[in-house]
């Protein structure tokens, strides 16, 4: 029964799919969970873009506050 579970785990690991291009990812891939370093970079780029967008929104809010001290 234990061996059967191991076999099942291996099968699941072999069926990993790249979240970027949906290609099958080898279980020994160095870029897990991505199929290649290229797809990992693409994912990182998307993540960073989201971070920048959030940072921009925050900056705008701060600029909207009147700077009374500087008018002196």
Segment near Zn ion (CB under 5 A); pick from 1-9, 33-41, 51-59, 61-69: 33-41
| Cβ nearer to Zn ion, comparing 21 with 48 | 21
Contact between 40 and Zn ion by CB under 5 A: the answer reads no
DSSP 32-60: TTSSSHHHHHHHHHHHHHHHHHHHHHHHH
Size of the site for Zn ion (CB under 5 A): 6
CA neighbours closer than 13 Å in the CB half-sphere of residue 31 = 18
Cα distance between residue 35 and residue 27, in whole Å: 9
Interface residue with Zn ion among 9, 12, 13, 21 (CB under 5 A) is 21
Binding residues for Zn ion (CB under 5 A): 18, 20-21, 23, 35, 39
């Amino acid at each position: 029964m234990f061996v059967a579970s191991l076999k099942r785990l291996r099968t699941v690991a072999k069926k990993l799919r790249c979240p970027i291009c949906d290609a099958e990812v080898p279980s020994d891939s160095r870029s897990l969970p991505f199929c290649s370093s290229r797809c990992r970079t693409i994912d990182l780029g998307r993540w960073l873009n989201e971070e920048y967008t959030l940072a921009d929104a925050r900056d705008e809010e701060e600029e909207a506050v009147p700077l009374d001290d500087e008018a002196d």
